[in-house]
Structure 1
Amino acid sequence: MGANIQPTVNFEQTTGNTNSQPQKEIPGTSKCQPKKEIPGTSKIQAKKEIPGTSKSQPQTEIPGPSKIQAKNEIPGTSKCQPQTEIPGPSKIQAEREIQENHELQKSLVVAAIDFGTVHSGFAYSFRGYEENIKSAQHGGMLQQDRVPTVLLLYPDKSFHSFGYEAQTKFYELSEPDRSQFYYFENFKMKIYETHKIKRKMEIKDICGKPFKAMKVFAIAIAHLKEEALKIIYESKFGLQDTDIQWMITIPALSSDSARQFMREASTEAGIVESRLRLVLEPEAAAVYSTPRIMPEEIPYGFKYILADLGGGTSDICVQETRAGGKIQEICRATGEGIGGIDVDKCFINMMKDLMGEEIWTEFSSDYSSAYVSLLNEFRTKKKEFKSDTDSLKLKMENALVHVLRGKMNKGLEDIIKESTFTGKLEYHSIEARLKINKQMLEELFTPSVERIIVKLIEILEHCGDIEIETIILVGGYSESQYLRERIQSVFSHMRVILLDDARLAVLNGAVMMGWKPKNSIQHRSRFTYGFATKEPFIENGDPEYLKVIIDGDIFCEMVFNKVIQKGEMLTYGQTFTYTVSCAAWEQEMKYDVIYIGLWRSTLEDPQYCIEEEGCYLVGEIAVIPPPEGWPDYWEAVLHLIIGETEFTVKYFELDTGNELEAKMDFL
C-alpha cells in the first residue's frame, strides 16, 4: 500500500525559485497567500487523490484513514521556509542546459533511425561535416536509402533478416517452415492504434502467432543500429559508443505511452539512455525543409503548413520561423492513420473483387514470391499516376494467371470482360500486362487523398485569421504526383512545395536536430493534463455520485485540477510545480512508494476526471522513499518538466530540500 498524497495548492507554472512558493489559504494552515487569484481554485481545501473511484460511491460517512492521513498543517514547520534551499525551475533548467550543452559538444556523430510504417532507414553525419548527411545506402548497408519495415525471426525468436531480404526469404520458405518462423510487416501502426499500451502487450505475426511487441521493436531497432554502426566505424577510426547521439523519429499522433514504449524499446535495443533523443517526425521534417525552400535566409515570422504524408500516417502542423533558427508551432498538430499504404489496400481489394477472395488468397499463399513482386510493382508504378495519365500498366505475374486457369478455367482477359471492371481494367496476354485505366486509378487514390485534403481544410479553419500561403509536402506518399495535383487544385490560392528527396526529409531532419539544442522547437499540447483531487462539495453543482464524506467533511472527489491546457504553447524545460502534503503514521508505511496519478483530457477545461469529459488516467508518478523512510508528516513540491517529446519529473521535500527519486510511467 502506498502513502496517500494530498494537494494543498493548485498548479502554477513557475520560472523562479520555489523556496517561498505561495499557497492559497486553507483552514488550519499557515496563511501563505498566493500572489494572485488563480481561476478555478476558490474551492481548494484539503484534498485527497483517489484514482479509480467507482461512480456508485456511497454518500454515507467514510471513516478517516487510520494508518496514513494527509495533513494540512504540520506542527513546528513553515510551509514557505524549507530548512534547505530547493532549486527553483529556473536554476534547474540552467543546470540542465549546461549539462546538455556538454553532451552536445561531446557528440562526434549524430545517427538517426526513421522507423516508419512501410519503410525504415538510417542516416548520419560527423562533427565538422554536419550538413553532409549519409543515408543507409551509403556503403551498401541497405539496398536502398529506406527498405520495407519487415522483420523475419527464426523459430527460436532470434533475428533472421530485415527489409527486402526478409520479404524474399520468408516467401521462399516452404509452407510448413513458414508457419514456424515469425514474420512481421506494417507492425508499427499496431502500437499507435492501441489506446493504452502496456509493456507486456503482444502483437501477432502474419500467421497469427503472438509475440511481445516491445521485443519486436527492439530487435528491429537493434538491427538498424548495428548496420549504422558498421559504416560509421568504417568511416572514422577511434569512435566509441558514447561519441554517438542517437535520434529516433516518432509520429506527432503518438500517445504518451507510445512515446515511452519507443524509448524503452530503443534502450532494450542497446542504445544508452543518455545518448538517445526522440523527435517528432513533422518537427524533424521542418528543420530539414525550411532552409531548402528559400534561396536566401528564411525571414522571421514565415508561416507555413507542413504535411508529412508517409506510408501509414499523415502528420500535419502549422509552424512559424522564429529568431535564432527556432521554429514555433502556431496551431496544434494533427495526425491520422492515412498514407500510401491505403492505396495498396484498395488495389488488393480490387483484385479480390475481380477474381474472388479465395483465388487471391491461394495466389498470395502458394505463390508468395510472385505476390510480393506484384505488390512492389504496383507501389512503384502508382507514383507515376497523375491527372492527365490515361492508364498504367503492371507486369502481371504468370503464377496468378496459372491459378485463375486452374480454378476458373478462364483467362484473366475473359474474367475482366465478365466483371464490373469492364472499361476500367484490361489484360494484354501477349505482353502479360494488366492495364489500369484512369477511372479505376482515381478510385484507388480517392479515399486517402480526400481524407488528407479534409485534414488540411480543418487545420486551416482552426488557425482562423492567421495568414498562411505555403504548404510544404514531405514523406513518401507526397511523391505521388496525383496526390500533389489534387492538393494544389483544392488550395490553388496557396503555394504547394515538394522537396527533393521528400521521403528523406524526416530522416535527414532528425540528423540535423541532433546538432541543435533541444529548445529549438516550441510545440502545442495535444491534450489537457492535470491531477485528480478532492474539493469541498458544492450542492446542486457537483455530481452526487462523486460526493464522499471524510471525518465529517463533505467532498467532491475526482475533481480535475488542470496544469497544462490543450493547445497551450510548450517550451523545452518549461516547469510546472505542484505542492502536496502527506503523512505516514504507521511503521509499515515508512518505505511505501508514493504514486501520483496524471490525467489527460481531450477537452480544454474539464471539470472532473471522468470518461464523459474525455479523461483517463494516462500515467503515474512513482516517488521512492528516502533511505531512512518517510517521516510522520511532510510536505513536498513536484516539478513537472516539459521535454522534447515527453514529461520528466522531480520531487523535493519542502522541509529538508532533498530531492527524491521520481519516475513518470505511462506504461
Structure 2
Amino acid sequence: MGATIQPTVRQETEQSNESRKKKSQDSLHEDKVDKPLVVQPTARRKTKLVVQPTARRKTKLVVQPTAKRKTKLVVQPTARQQPGQSNESRKKKSQDFQLEDKVNKTLVKQPTVRKVEQNEQSNKSRNKPLVVVAIDFGTVHSGFAYSFKGNEDNIKSAEHGGMLQEDRVPTILLLKPDKTFNSFGYNAQTDFHELSECDRSTFYYFENFKMKIYQESKIEREMVVKDISGKPLEAMTVFSIAIKHLKHEASKIVLDSILGLKETDIQWMITIPAISSDSARQFMREASTKAGIPETHLRLVLEPEAAALYSTPRIMTEAIPCGFMYILADLGGGTTDICAHKIIDGGKIQEIFRTTGETSGGSDVDDCFINMMKTLIGEKVWSEFSTTHPSACVSLVNEFRLKKKELKSQTNNIQLRMENALVHVIGGKKMNLNDIVKKSKYVRKLEYNSMDARLTINREMLEDLFKPSVDKIISKLVDVLKQCDENEMRTIILVGGYSESPYVRERIQSTFSKMRVILVDDARLAVLNGAVMMGWKPKNIIQRRSRYTYGFAVYKPFRKGIDPEQLRIYYDGDIYCDMIFQKMIEKGQIVEYGQTFISEQYETATTVEEKYKVRYVDLYRSTQKDPQYCIEEEDCSLVGTIRILPPSDGWPDMWDHDLHLIVGETEFTVKYFNLNTGQEYEAQMDFL
C-alpha cells in the first residue's frame, strides 16, 4: 500500500568491525529489503525515536513500514540480517540447530487492554481551541468553514466575507512556470484560459489531481501528478500548495474577526475519504504540515463520520434515541463512502459495519459525457477543440454539470448550447454536426438544431451517462445492508454534492423502497460543517471497527506436530517456534481513540553477546481474524518496526517490559516500556 523509506543505517561507534561481522546473523526474513529507522536512546529516562534521514530527503517519520509486502514462511530470527548473508546459510543454521541470534520476547503474558483517559482530559483543559477551521479538500470541489468558541454552532463558510466565490469552488490549481502559486478554483480557470497559447504551455494547470492518491496502488512521497498538458510535478508539492492557499484564506478571515486571535488558537480539521488507505491518510497529513499547519494543531477527519455528526441531529425533530441505526452514503464528486452507524450512550457514534466505498461519484457522469462527445465527433476533433479552445471546452462541460442536475422522473431531455468554437473546429474538417449526429449510433438519443446551435440529449442517453456510477453506489449499499440487521436498519441518509441529484435519489429510493431515504439540508456541506463540529467534540466521539487484525511477532516453546517445522529455532538450550502472531486487536473489533492494548513481556540476556544485542519490536497486521503466525500464508504483512539499542552497560540478566498499541484518530502509536530502567520508545506507524 505504501512505498518504503530508505533510511541511513546507524552503526554503533563502540562496536568493532570484527564484532559486527560476528553479529551478521542478525537478519530479516528473505524478502525484507528495507531497514527500519533507528531508535537511539539517550541518557534521559524517557527517550523519543531518533530518525535516520535519507540522503534524498529529511523526515520526521519514525517507522519503516512495508504496508503490502508479505512475509514468507521461513525461519525468522528477529535480529536483522547483515548484507551478504545468503538464504542457504540461514537454512543450514536452522537445520543444524545453531544458536539463532534472537532478540524478540522469550515469554509473553496474555495482552490486556485499558482506556487512556488522562491524556484526553488534559488535552481538553490545556489545548481547547478558540476557533475550529475545517478544510474540505475534495476531488471536484474544495472549501473551508469555521466557528468560534462560545458560538460553536454558528458555522460560517468560505463564502462569508467573500474569501471564495461560493461555499465550495472547483479543486483546480494554477501554478506559475517557476512552480509557485498563481490561483485556485474559479480564478484558476479564468486565469489559465486568458493566457496566450504560448504562455499557457509554461504554466501548470491541475484538476482532479486528488484522485491520484486513491487510484494508485503504491503511494510514495516522490510520486508525481501530471497537469492538463502532461507536465509532471511532485504530488506532495501540488497538494501542499493547494492546502496552503486554503489555509491562508481561512486564516485571513478568522484572524481578522477577533482582536488578539493568534494562529496557535486555531484547530485545523482536514477531511479525507473513509476509503483512504493508510498511506493516503499519511500523505494528506504530511501535505498539510508542509502547507504550514502545525502537527499539534492538525486533525484528520473521515468524511462520512463528519457528515454523520452533522446529519443525525437534523433528521428528527427530537433527540435521536440510543440504539437508532442508519446507513449514511456520502456521495461526492470523485468518491463514495458508505457506512452503517448506531447511536450509543452519550450520543457517541458506533460503526456497525466497517466503512466501505468506491472511487465513483458525480464526476463520472461528466467523464461519460466527454466520452460520448469524443465518440460522436471523433477523438482527434475533440482533442483539437479542448487544446486550442480550452475556455470554450470548460464552458461546455460546466454547462453540462449544471444541466445534469435537472434530470428527474418528469424530465424528458435537456438542451446544451454548443460552443461556437466547437462548431468552427468541426466545420474546418468539412463536417456538419447535424449530419454527424444523424449518422452516429446516438441518432435516436441526440438531436442537433443548427439554427440555435443546441444539442438535445434525451432521457435514455442521460440515464446511460448516470448508470455506471449509480449502479456502483447501489451495489455498495446492497452489500452493506446485507451485513446489517435488515429488520433494524430502516434509514438511509444521503449527503454530498452528488446526492443532490434528483435522479440519483430516485434510483436509490426505488431500489430500497422499504427504507426511508433522507436527503439532509445543505447535503453538499454536510462533511465540511460536520468537520467543524467534530473539532469541538471529544476525540473518542466515534467508535470504529478495525480494518485488520493487529499483533506483535513473538516466539514461544515449539509444539511438535502443531507448529510449522520451518519456524522451529534453537535458542538458549531450548526449542522455540518463531514468528508467533500475538493478537492485540481483531479485525472488526470496536476501537476508539485513547484505547491502549498492552502486551506484558520479559526478556533474558545471559551471555555477553546477548547483553549487547540490538532488540526489535515488529507490528504485523492480517486480513484474517485469528492468524497464528506472521507469515504470507496467513495474509500477514509488516506494519512497522522499533529498533532498540542496548544500554551502555548492556542488558541485565532479565528485565520486564510492556508493549503498548495505542489507538489514535487515524493511526496507531506503538510504545516500548523498559520497566527496569524506565526508558520509553515511541513510534507512529509510517505507511509511505
TM-score normalised by L of structure 1: 0.84
Conserved? CA contact 1:51–1:532, under 8 Å: no
- Say if 1:547 and 1:509 are closer, same or farther in 2 by CA, change over 3 A: same
How far apart, in 1, do the equivalents of 2:197 and 2:89 lie?
57
Q: In the alignment, is residue 61 of structure 1 matched against residue 102 of structure 2?
A: no
Matched residue SS, 2:367: helix
Q: Deviation digits for residues 377-403 of structure 1, max 9, x if unmatched?
A: 111111111122100111211111111
Which amino acid is the alignment partner of residue 322 of structure 1?
A: I
Separation (CA, whole Å) in 2 of partners of 1:580 and 1:664: 24
Q: Which residue of structure 1 aligns with residue 116 of structure 2?
A: 93
Mapped pair 1:282 → 2:311: no
CA contact (8 A) 1:69 1:584 kept: no
Does the 8 Å CA contact 1:354/1:416 hold for their aligned counterparts?
yes
1:563 aligned to which of 584, 602, 620: 584
- Provide Cα deviations, 1:312-354, integer angstroms capped at 9, x if missing partner: 1111111111222211111111111111111111111111111
> Judging changes above 3 Å, is the alpha-carbon distance between structure 1 residues 556 and 56 closer, same or farther for their aligned structure 2 residues?
farther
Residue in 2 that maps onto 1:615? 636
Instruction: For residue 626 of structure 1, report the CA deviation from its aligned partner.
Output: 8.6
Distance 1:629 1:175, change over 3 A: farther
1:653 equivalent among 643, 666, 674: 674
Number of the residue aligned with 1:514: 535
Structure 1 Cα separation of the partners of residues 286 and 606 of structure 2: 33
Query: How far does the alpha carbon of each residue in 1:52-75 deviate from its partner, in whole angstroms, 9 at most, with x for none?
Result: 99999964334899996437679x
Deviations 1:114-135 (A, max 9, x none): 1111111100001111111100
Q: In 2, Cα distance between the equivalents of 1:65 and 1:605?
A: 31
1:351-366 equivalences under 5 Å are 351-366=373-388
Question: Which residue of the other structure, out of 265, 272, 292, is the alignment partner of 1:243?
Answer: 265
Q: Distance in 2 between matches of 1:240 and 1:566?
A: 42
Equivalent-residue separation in structure 1 for 2:383 and 2:241 (angstroms)? 29
Contact persistence 1:192–1:258 (CA under 8 A): yes
The residue correspondences of 1:102-501 to structure 2 (distance < 5 A) are: 102-105=125-128, 107-407=129-429, 409-464=430-485, 467-501=488-522
The one-letter code sitting in structure 1 at the alignment partner of 2:509 is Q
Q: After alignment, is 518-527 or 630-639 more displaced?
A: 630-639
Q: What is the letter of the counterpart of residue 380 of structure 2?
A: E
Q: Structure 2: how far apart are the matches of 1:266 and 1:582?
A: 44
Q: Distance in 1 between matches of 2:406 and 2:136?
A: 25
- Superposed displacement of residue 466, structure 1: 5.5
Kept in 2, the 8 Å contact 1:548–1:557? The answer is yes
Deviation by residue 1:585-619 (Cα, 9 ceiling, x = unmatched): 88999797x653333222323344444544333x3
Aligned-residue offset at 1:371: 0.8
Looking at structure 1, the residues matched to 97 and 291 of structure 2 have their Cα atoms a distance apart, in angstroms, of 48
Q: Distance in 1 between matches of 2:124 and 2:514?
A: 43
Distance 1:332 1:71 in 2: 33
Unaligned runs of 5+ in 1: 7-45, 81-87
Q: Deviations over 1:442-483 (max 9, x none)?
A: 000011111110100100101145611110000111111101
Q: 1:50 to 1:259 in 2, by over 3 A?
A: farther
Amino acid at match of 1:339: G
**C-alpha spacing 1:475/1:581, structure 2 compared with 1 (3 Å):** farther
| Cα distance change on mapping 1:466 and 1:345 into 2, 3 Å | same
Cα offsets for 1:423-456 (capped at 9, x unmatched): 1011122222111100000000011111110100
Percent identity of the aligned residues? 61
Letter in 2 for 1:484: R
Q: Compared with structure 1, are the counterparts of its residues 55 and 416 closer, same or farther at alpha carbon in structure 2 (3 Å cutoff)?
A: farther
Verify the 8 A CA contact 2:351 2:545 in the aligned structure 1: yes
CA 1:566–1:661: 2 relative to 1, 3 Å: closer
- Structure 2 residue aligned with 1:32: none
Residue in 1 aligned with 2:103?
A: 70
Aligned to 2:624: 603
Aligned-residue RMSD, C-alpha: 3.3
Match for 2:78: what amino acid?
E
Three-state SS of the structure 2 residue aligned to 1:388 is coil
> Are 1:56 and 1:545, in contact at CA under 8 Å, matched by a contact in 2?
no
Note closer, same or farther for the CA distance 1:589–1:110 as it changes in structure 2 (3 Å cut): farther
Distance 2:102 2:79 in 1: 13
Tell me which amino acid in the other structure corresponds to 2:431: K
Q: Deviations over 1:109-152 (max 9, x none)?
A: 00000111111110000111111110011111111111111112
From the superposition, tell whether residues 423 and 67 of structure 1 become closer, same or farther in structure 2 (CA, over 3 Å): closer
CA distance in 2, matches of 1:179, 1:612: 51
Task: Judge which range, 196-205 or 644-653, deviates more.
Answer: 196-205
Seen in structure 2, the aligned counterparts of structure 1 residues 119 and 64 have a Cα distance that, compared at 3 Å, is farther
Rounded Cα–Cα distance in structure 2 between residues aligned with 1:67 and 1:555:
10
Where does residue 15 of structure 1 map in the other structure?
none
Secondary structure, aligned partner of 1:665: coil
Contact 2:325–2:340, Cα closer than 8 Å, also in 1: yes
Q: CA 1:225 to 1:589, structure 2 compared with 1: closer, same or farther past 3 Å?
A: farther
In the alignment, the residues of structure 1 paired with residue 359 and residue 211 of structure 2 have an alpha-carbon distance, to the nearest angstrom, of: 8
Q: Residues 83-111 of structure 1, C-alpha deviation per residue, up to 9 Å, x if partnerless? A: xxxxx975x82320222112453x11000
Q: Any idea what SS the aligned residue of 1:443 has?
A: helix
Q: Does 1:49 align with 2:72?
A: no
| CA pair 169-499 structure 1, distance change in 2 beyond 3 A | same
Distance in 2, Cα, partners of 1:288 & 1:375 = 31
What are the residue-to-residue correspondences of 1:528-607 with 2, within 5 Å? 528-534=549-555, 557-578=578-599, 579=601, 581=603, 596-607=617-628
Cα distance, 1:165–1:557 mapped onto 2, change above 3 Å: farther
- SS of residue matched to 1:496: strand
TM-score using structure 2 length: 0.82
The residue type paired with residue 620 of structure 1 is: G
Q: CA deviation at 1:296?
A: 1.4
Between the aligned partners of 1:496 and 1:259, the Cα distance in structure 2 is: 30
Contact 2:104/2:555 (<8 A) preserved? no
